[in-house]
Structures are given as C-alpha cells and as structure tokens.
Structure 1
Amino acid sequence: MWDKLKNDKYVKDLLVRLLTVLFVAAIALLLFDVLTQSKDGRRQIVDMDGGSEYTQESALATQEEKRLEDILSQMKGVGKTSVMITYQSREQTETVFGSGDNNKNLMVEGVIVASEGAGDIIVKNNIINAVATVYDIPAANVVVFEKNGMK
C-alpha cells in the first residue's frame, strides 16, 4: 500500500503543497513576531488586572504629594487639598573624578492642586506661590482648581 502511495503523482503533489503551506505559515509567524517587537527588542507586558508597576519613583511621588497636601491644607483658607506632581527624569553623567555611573535625577515639571478654598483669588495665588517656591518651578507650571465640595 505504501509503495502505491509513494508512486502516486496526486499524493506527491498533495504532500509538496502541504509542506509549502506549512513553510509559508512558519515564515509568516516569524515575521509577525519580529514586526510586533519594539525597536529595542522588548515587548510590552500588559497587566490584565489593570495594576501599575511599583517603582521607587512612584513611591517618592506619592510621598511628596502627601507632604504637599498636608502643608497646603494647613494654610489659611485652603481647606481639603489634593495634589498631583509630574516629574521629568534627567540623567547626569559624573565627570572625570566621579565613578562614571549614571545617576537619575527627578525634577518636578508641573503640579496640579485641587483645593476647597481655591475659589478665593488670594488663596489661589498663595497656593501657586507656595508650590512654585518649594519646587523652584515657574508659577505657570502650577495649576490650581477649586475642589468640588462633594467627594
């Protein structure tokens, strides 16, 4: 039986077509794999639970936001406050006398403040001046909104 199939032209043609399709499918999968990678060869991993990665920088940001919220809420007329700080990462390379390691410096880029007392222009101006002074950023990088009375 095997000899009959081996000599049959239809079976040989079918086998060649099957192998060709498998080869083309394998090449297509490899190309798809290569084309979906980012330029540096890494893939993005998406959390299915929607969680975010915990980093030292995010812990620092959260801690700084809490400290600023506490200080601002103690100012006269400010009331309950929420703060969001954005950072700009900046790398510094040490000079000849340094070890040559790259150090990352986080620099405050902007601050958003939501405060109950921000409806008063004087309180709003005091908040802007306080935040701009603490982080040594231009007042234009500090945005203050009146907080909604309902939480």
Structure 2
Amino acid sequence: MPEELRVDTKLPLHTLLEGKTLLLVDGSSYLYRAFHAMPDLRGPDGEPTGALYGIINMLRRMRKDVTAEYSACVFDAKGKTFRDDWYPEYKANRPSMPGPLAAQIEPIHTAVRALGWPLLMIEGVEADDVIGTLACQAEKLGMKVI
C-alpha cells in the first residue's frame, strides 16, 4: 500500500476526522432538478440525456466551488422504504418517474462514479434519510458537513 494511503489505525476515528469537511449531495434530488431544468436533449441513438448532462455539470461545479476532504452522492434505492411500511399512503399520490428520466438512472450512476464521487444507495431508505444519518454521525465526530 502506498505510504500516503496508510493510516495509523490506533488513533480514534474522531481524531482522524475532526475538522475535516464532508460534502453530501442528494443525487435523487439532483436527478429531478436536472431533468426538469434541461431541454429534451438526446444522444445520437435517440436516448434521453438531459438529466445526465445536467447532473454531470452540477457535480463538477460542486467540486469546483466546495472544498471537502470527503464526499458522497446519495441516491434513493429502488423499491419500498420503511416509511411505506409505517404509512401505506406515503407518496401514494405522487406520479411515477417519467420514462425518459428512468432511462437515465443507470447512465447517471455510472457517470457519478466516473467523476470520482462515491455513490451510496441503501435499500429501504431514502437518500435524504441516509444524508441526515451520515450528517449527524459526522458532526458527532467533529466534522463540518455540507
């Protein structure tokens, strides 16, 4: 292992992370924001690419504008969440994801990873709940959270 990647594991975690910055991005929110903000862009094969283009630009800009030692882009996982079990009417009246946006999900995940962002999805938990949990844990360790 290269020397710069080695960490003294005898140190408490809060000592290693205290004062560091954690940047958490709600990728699912960015999906919809980019999809509705961009025109109906299409690739040479006719596949929709507007949300993909928008999210790439937003994440690049975020990296440029915000200095953080640690970062992650968090997305909703497919399927039901614990909130659906608690309250069956949760988001019951929300329209389903538009087909042109759904077609861009996997390419967006691939692009996020290619940009160097760790991508997090927790089955049964929405992105904003994951972000809230991580933010609380990071703050307890003395980190600044954006």
Q: Fold-level match, TM-score > 0.5? A: no
Larger Rg: 1
TM-score normalized by the length of structure 2 = 0.25
Q: Which has the bigger relative contact order, CA under 8 A and spacing at least 6?
A: 2
Richer in strand (by share) = 1
